Amino acid sequence: MHHPVTKEQLLELWKNVDQLETKDFNPRVFFMMHDVDGNGVWDADEVKALFIKELDKLYGPNGPNKDLHERAEEMERMREHVFLESDLNRDGLIDFNEFMMQTRRSDFQQDQ
């Protein structure tokens, strides 16, 4: 399982969900594609949607764990972690600039 919102996790979504070539990864395009309502920010639901494929690895039909309550708790922990790191103005949203600042951090390259 990938650390939430690291380059490796986003690349996996880019390739497997968005069906794009990893060599063409563009953080700006990624942000816009996952801003489902097109309002220029990611809300909690848009951020949680980023984790569905990750959580399927553990809690999906072929995963080792079938506890849906535990899955929901893990998704919420991941959301809280991402907002703690990325929502710099603490408004409950991640705007494009906050996302881009996250992609420039050294730990963005590290999949812990």
The pLDDT of residue 4 is 82
CATH of the domain at 49: 1.10.238.10
36 part of a folded domain? yes
The pLDDT of residue 63 is 77
| Residue 59: DSSP 8-state | H
The pLDDT of residue 111 is 59
Distance CA 82, CA 18 (A): 21
The pLDDT of residue 66 is 82
21 part of a folded domain? yes
111 part of a folded domain? no
The pLDDT of residue 1 is 58
2 part of a folded domain? no
112 part of a folded domain? no
The pLDDT of residue 109 is 80
Domain ranges, residue 12: 7-106
DSSP states of 69-110: HHHHHHHHHHHHHHHHHH-TT-SS-EEHHHHHHHHTSGGGG-
1 part of a folded domain? no
pTM: 0.87
Residue-level pLDDT, tens digit, the chain, 112 residues: 577 889 999 999 999 999 999 999 999 999 999 999 999 999 999 999 999 988 988 888 777 888 889 999 999 999 999 999 999 999 999 999 999 999 999 888 875 5
- What's the domain count of the chain? 1
